[in-house]
Structure 1
Amino acid sequence: MAAMRWKNWKGWAAAAAITMAAGQPATAAVPLPALGANPAEVSVSGLSAGGFMAVQLHVAYSATFKRGAGVVAGGPYYCAEGSVLNATGRCMAHGSSIPVSTLVNTTNSWAASGAIDPVSNMTGSRLYLFSGTSDNTVKPAVMDDLKTYYQSFVPAANTVYRNNIGAGHAMVTDDYGGACSTTAAPYINNCGFDLAGEILAQLYGPLNPRNNGTLGGSFTEFNQSEFITGHGVAATGWIYVPQACTTASCRVHMVLHGCKQNYTDVSDQYVKKTGYNRWADTNDIVLIYPQTSTAATNSCWDWWGYDNANYAKKSGPQMAALKAMVDRVTGSGGGSSLPAPTGVGTSGATSSSMVVGWAGVSGASGYNVYRGGSKVNAAPVAGTNYTDTGLAPSTTYSWTVAALDASNAQGAMSAAATGTTLAGSGGGGTCYTASNYAHTVAGRAYALWGLTYAYGSGQSMGLWNVYVTTTLKQTGPNYYVIGTC
């Protein structure tokens, strides 16, 4: 097994030209490697939007993130309940109380239905929670509610809650970043406190001393597009692989950045300056650093539904993609080596349907078709086209396709193809002209950090106030675009 892993690693490393010094950029993105890492030793942590997303992954995919979660300035699972007003209100400013008992009930209900993994998986996991006393973005009271939420699922003895450091809204280190109490880009603060080390020690137990010198492993930019295209996720992410993990089965920790912290926003600072890598290097921990794109609202992970109504469930597009990345690294997802279908395109549009076609893949026994990240076929598709029905008129959709092998294991995901349905008999949709404030009150748009965005399309409408007027056209259920009828 070790020999095979080393052979695979050498091929991947050669393709990537990956052996990089700490500040050296990668030259090309390559497929995420199948390292044969230990699937029983997987955990996740994140800051702010990444903290909320870490909670979502830990709860919804508790069978995968078995070791637990580190949450910095996050909040309870499904806190926003699909509302940006809840997200910016009770889940950040704590302007109103968070209905923790309701969220616990929702969690149990979704687990019973299979929308998320059984909650019993969390009993053996561990938690590290952190809230800075100077954090006025996600108030400490929100983290207090997260602790209360988790008490229904994780034993108190398995939880550490640190809330006595004067940090602003930021990832905290002991030697890099801005002043401890500030909240400013790149949202990494030097508080003389090694938060990454504290998180990893809580999740994995006593650690070997960190490597404060030149790291022995490799940073690599990998292709995220084989897991998801669009949905606010960038084309590439980053992985750090300690040298020992090229031949040994290592632990895996996923690190999720906050809003305005992706690679485009802050370069490699979150990937290389937050303190995780020097602990990973001496403790055999593979680190996955997924990245959002600038198309995501404020570069945030989806924890309130800006991309998909199922954002907090296993079927959420971002959720499924992040889980698939872990499955690739651990080899636990039952994935197939079949390549991604090519030539994916759309045709035959009607007001309620679209034909999706693709070129056949050698060795495929069937195919799965995904619309907006959610599988639409009930059974494997035998041919090389599929008619997707039940669509809204005058609406643009995106489809991807993956091949299945003889055991129904799924191969790599195709590039996305888009298509727009025809107008229905009622014309091109209903238009609404109003102030941006009125649009949010009516539920046609949402506000975030002073700006307004159309529901569904996510198009920016400008400042959120009563003075800026925008015309929105409804082209489908809860889907609005800027335009005229």
Structure 2
Amino acid sequence: MTSKLLMRTLALLAMLLAPPLQAQVVPLPALKTTQLSVSGLSSGGYMAVQFDVAFSASVIGAGIVAGGPYFCARANVGTATSVCSCTGFGLCQVSPGGTGVADLIAKTGQNAASGAIDSTGNLASHRIWLFSGTADSLVPQAVMNDLESYYKNYVSPAQISFKKNLQAQHAMPTDLFGNSCTTLSSPYINNCGYDAAGQLLQWIYGPLAQKTGNTPAGSFLQFDQSEFLPSPASHGMAPSGYLYIPPGCAGDASSCKLHVAFHGCKQDAATIGESYVRNAGYNGWADANRIVILYPQAASVPPLTNPNACWDWWAYDDANYAVKTGRQMQAVRRMTERLMGAGGGNPPPPPSPASECFSASNSEHVQAGRAYDKFFFAYAVGSHQRLGLDFRFFHTTLKRTAPNYYVVGACS
């Protein structure tokens, strides 16, 4: 067995043997972290750019894998899928300079002047890390080149790092886990022998201690996202998200940094389970450098609005998607405020009564936020158990066992 094959086999075994994330959904803790940064892949890359630009007074840097410039889609799904990416059913129109960077810079200025986003002057101190694979067929390098041009209007070239010479497909590049580097397939994490998460964190924060491995030594929490966005499933966000707390950062984490990692389309937990949270490459660096990692979760909005659980970067849910008052933007901001000790969200809800049951049609469960729809099937919030077809004449009993966590079955 070759050394490369052995490493892949060991990584797969580690994934299979890893204990599951905390099943009970809990309130997001207040940790008093500092030095907020963001990163993301694909729609998560677009979301990271939006967050970095809109909340530039609070963020110190961003890492973008296969994303594009701020407001690239111009609130239009056709533009999003043909000009800003090649993800639509029509003709791909991606071309050098095709996103219209000058117009996007003008829009950014208008938003800043109106107070819809923070002053663009804050971006001057940010450190920006960019990655684009030469084999990326969904967000070709021309789009990422435009993102570099966009950021250069605000950030010194010396503070921008752009890796674009690796033959990689549209995926999160890692040095241990995933498909082959040129594969386009779920979970969209590829073993390229390249540690993108480590590279971006080192660029944003400066010299870091080398990660000691890829087996997390800290703890995972599954937290209630509805505290930060009511009825999240109706707005493209999952009922719960994930938080990774490395050793030494529980409780008072004033000596710990905070990084938000936005997954890409089709990488939500309901679709690929724990793969992104465990294997995107962040946790080993978090352990070695006391970095708390927030993994907020998007969700599908069927049938055609947002079937792939993408983040809102083209106004599928909210006309204000790219400014501070956008529903998803505000929700994640409140999460970071909570984690940085500044409150955020509403007060933690009281524990749900044990064994509280709800008998209703599957569609009524979805409407009430106890379940969510995915490709016409209803799934229980929290446990992700399938109820059956999301129709009014199919009935199921759901038992709430924790805040925002439901399982299929009758109460005893």
Given candidates 43, 47, 51, the residue that maps to 1:49 is: 43
Deviation string for 1:415-440 (max 9, x for gaps)?
98xxxxxxxxxxxxxxxxxxxxxxxx
Q: What are the residue-to-residue correspondences of 1:38-437 with 2, within 5 Å?
A: 38=34, 41-65=35-59, 67-93=60-86, 94-95=93-94, 97-212=98-213, 214-228=215-229, 229=231, 230-246=234-250, 247-249=252-254, 250-295=256-301, 296-333=306-343, 337=347
% identical equivalent positions: 49
Deviation for aligned residue 1:336: 6.7
Change (3 A) 1:121 1:332: farther
Stretches of structure 1 that go unaligned for 5 or more consecutive residues are 1-20, 343-414, 417-485
Q: Which amino acid is 2:22 matched to?
A: A
CA distance in 2, matches of 1:110, 1:231: 23
Change (3 A) 1:49 1:336: closer
Q: Which amino acid is 2:106 matched to?
A: N
Question: After alignment, is 204-213 or 275-284 more displaced?
Answer: 204-213
Structure of higher CA gyration radius = 1
Deviation for aligned residue 1:333: 5.0
Deviation string for 1:125-176 (max 9, x for gaps)?
1000000000010010000000000111111111000000110000000111
CA distance in 2, matches of 1:336, 1:263: 24
- Alpha carbons 1:68, 1:125 under 8 Å: kept: yes
CA RMSD, Structure 1 to Structure 2 (Å): 2.1
**4+ runs of 1 displaced by more than 4 Å?**
333-340
Q: 2:384: which partner in 1?
A: none
- Alpha carbons 2:27, 2:348 under 8 Å: kept: no
Q: Which amino acid is 1:209 matched to?
A: Q
Give the match's secondary structure for 1:200.
helix
Give the match's secondary structure for 2:162.
strand
Change (3 A) 1:133 1:213: closer
Higher normalized contact order (CA 8 Å, seq sep 6+, divided by chain length): 2
Q: 2:394: which partner in 1?
A: none
TM-score by length of 1: 0.64
Q: 1:34: which partner in 2?
A: 30
User: Aligned pairs, how many?
Assistant: 322
Give the match's secondary structure for 2:235.
coil
Deviation for aligned residue 1:30: 0.3
CA distance in 2, matches of 1:25, 1:37: 22
Give the match's secondary structure for 1:322.
helix
Deviation for aligned residue 1:334: 6.7
